[in-house]
Amino acid sequence: MSKKKKQGTNLLYDMIAEASAYDDVIVMGRGDPDFDTPAHIVDAAKDAMVNHHADYSPPEGLLALREAIAERVKRVNNIDVDADTEVVVTNGGQEALFLMVVAANGPGDEMIVPEPNYTTYADSLAFAGGVKVEVQAFAENDFRADPADVRAAVSDESRSLLLVSPNNPAANVISPEDMREMLGIAIEHDLIVLADDIYDLFVYDDFEHLSPASLPGGKERTLTLNALSKAYSMTGWRLGWIVGPADLMARVRELKAAISGGTSVISQYAGIAALTGPQDAVEMMAEAYRRRRRLVLDALDEMGMAYGVPQGGQFVFADISFTGLDSGELAQRILSEQHVLAYPGSAFSKDRKDYLRMTFLQPEEKLREGLERMKVAMADIMAERQ
């Protein structure tokens, strides 16, 4: 009997487990920044343990944190929200994502998804009983999803449109022109927009991030998620949020109460410190990612890999079709032979087995070492092909 190939989350589990067994592993897979959480945020958590450890927090989160989030989305994203009724705090961006998808979609509803995309969107939609309608984008166009393709994907069953910018794993940023057109399609066809802004502070070169909820006609039909994980290196704290119109947010709140009830107050107080305290650590990290991105792209050029230029985010999605290997096999060989963990494109979509996602979330020296090892693996693979 042939063993069924693992895909998606299960494939990644196996690779993460194998990687953890190597003492010298260099992880360029998981979206977990290598920086530790800034000290003033840890200090705020300590203070919360002493002074606020038993504070009551409703499912939607502490009001002080919701106010800080409202101020942040106004300042960064130009979205006006009422902290009382239009913000829900979540267990990280992941819970925000799950809640957002389940809130907007039910059995048989279609969600239009520019691909490639983060697998959890499909998993969450499957939980809700919805149907994913894919709009494909490719490296040669820097993974730009064409609004005309989105328009063509709309049907009578369409309920929502997913807009992730910067995208994970493709790292493209939806241009302001395209964003306006996408929102126009959503308004014309009465779709709920699900916007994932989690990488909004990491945009490179002259690219510009625009939140659909900030546009005329956008806010009343858009749920926007974000989290502190990537910007403040707080992945372990599990703190994120959704903002949106009060009527939809009332549903999000009930779903949050049903799924996990609430969010740790210690993380919430840490989150208040992150959003209202000094922001120099965020700027330092963004600068580091800019340098590392250049490092990775130069190495990929040397290896002869094509890629969509990462316009934002913390990773690059590279075309490995020239190797003749499926991305799962390639990632496995790089891991087993060189102890470097990169994620296969097939973990993101069955149609992306010609791609590899590499993050630049390692110190530069380690990143260099990882890229050198990848070059060795690639040279071996190409030599075998000759």
Where do contacts with other proteins occur on this chain (CB under 8 A)?
Answer: 9-10, 13, 30, 32, 36-37, 42, 45-46, 49-50, 53-58, 91-92, 94-95, 98, 102-104, 106-107, 120, 123-124, 127-129, 159, 190-192, 217, 220-221, 233-238, 247-248, 250-251, 254-255, 257-267, 270
In the complex, least distance from residue 163 CB atom to other proteins, rounded to whole angstroms: 16
> In this structure, how many other beta carbons lie within 10 angstroms of the beta carbon of residue 247?
10
In the complex, least distance from residue 375 CB atom to other proteins, rounded to whole angstroms: 27
In the complex, least distance from residue 336 CB atom to other proteins, rounded to whole angstroms: 21
Tokens for 290, please give them. Answer: 């800019």
Nearest to 265 by CA among 66, 54, 93: 54
Beta carbon nearer to other proteins, 143 or 199: 199
Residue 27 pairs in a beta bridge with 341
Beta carbon nearer to other proteins, 23 or 216: 216
In the complex, least distance from residue 110 CB atom to other proteins, rounded to whole angstroms: 11
In the complex, least distance from residue 263 CB atom to other proteins, rounded to whole angstroms: 7
Residues in the chain, overall count: 386
Tokens for 297, please give them. Answer: 């792209």
> For residues 247 and 191, what is the distance between their CA atoms, to the nearest angstrom?
15
Q: DSSP assignment of 83-113, as one string?
A: TTTSEEEESHHHHHHHHHHHHH--TT-EEEE
Sign of the Cα torsion 250, 276, 94, 151 reads: positive
In the complex, least distance from residue 15 CB atom to other proteins, rounded to whole angstroms: 14
Beta carbon nearer to other proteins, 76 or 187: 187
In the complex, least distance from residue 45 CB atom to other proteins, rounded to whole angstroms: 6
Beta carbon nearer to other proteins, 240 or 308: 240
Nearest to 178 by CA among 140, 224, 142: 142
Beta carbon nearer to other proteins, 137 or 228: 228
In the complex, least distance from residue 291 CB atom to other proteins, rounded to whole angstroms: 21
Q: Report helix, strand or coil for 359.
A: strand
In the complex, least distance from residue 317 CB atom to other proteins, rounded to whole angstroms: 21
Q: Any long-range contacts for 367-373 (C-beta under 8 Å, 24+ apart)?
A: 367/26, 367/28, 367/292, 367/295, 367/296, 368/295, 369/26, 370/26, 370/28, 370/340, 371/295, 371/296, 371/299, 373/26, 373/334, 373/338, 373/339, 373/340
Strands 355-359 and 343-344: antiparallel
Find out whether 194 and 305 touch, Cβ atoms under 8 Å. Answer: no
> In this structure, how many other beta carbons lie within 10 angstroms of the beta carbon of residue 378?
22
Beta carbon nearer to other proteins, 207 or 269: 269
Distance of CA 229 to the CA centre of its chain: 10
Q: Residue with structure tokens 């094509």?
A: 306
Beta carbon nearer to other proteins, 95 or 134: 95
Beta carbon nearer to other proteins, 128 or 162: 128
Beta carbon nearer to other proteins, 92 or 344: 92
